[in-house]
Amino acid sequence: MAHTTGTLPAQRASDPILTTFRVFAVLTVVNLLWQFVSAGELVNRPVDDAFEASHSAGAIVLHVLSGIAMIAAFALWRLRGAALWPAVIALLVFVLSFVQAYFGGRSTLWIHVPGAMILTIGAVAVAVWTFLPARR
């Protein structure tokens, strides 16, 4: 008979769900870094179609990356007994990426910029959690 201690069961080092979560959580953060670079260029240049197109395309990529990270986070919670809070934060990051896209115009930067900070904090928290030794 196995004794449970209330902690997570030992995870295999090559858990495909955890690996997927890690990869897409990190890619979400890397994508956000690009979004900051392209946004900075948009602010510094009055009209630059190349950076505007790049920033818009980056937003679509952000939806995809954060969406896959969110799905993996919920799978890790449901199938492996991991903590629920990273999945909830990943869901909030995914939803906020759409809110950010909606408020992405020059006239709504007062919403878009603080939203980008919140989105980044959430994405980094989720990515860091995936690498903690005891993911509880």
| pLDDT tens digits for range 104-125 | 877 888 898 899 999 999 999 9
6: which 2 tokens? Answer: 């209330």
Distance CA 21, CA 73 (A): 6
pLDDT at 3 (0 to 100): 44
pLDDT at 136 (0 to 100): 56
pLDDT at 68 (0 to 100): 98
pLDDT at 131 (0 to 100): 94
- What SS3 state is found at 61? helix
pTM of the model: 0.84
Longest CA pairwise span in the chain (Å): 69
CB-facing half-sphere around the CA of 43: CA atoms within 13 A: 12
Give the amino acid at 85.
Answer: W
pLDDT at 65 (0 to 100): 98
pLDDT at 5 (0 to 100): 45
Residues of the chain with pLDDT under 70: 1-13, 46-48, 134-136
pLDDT at 52 (0 to 100): 83
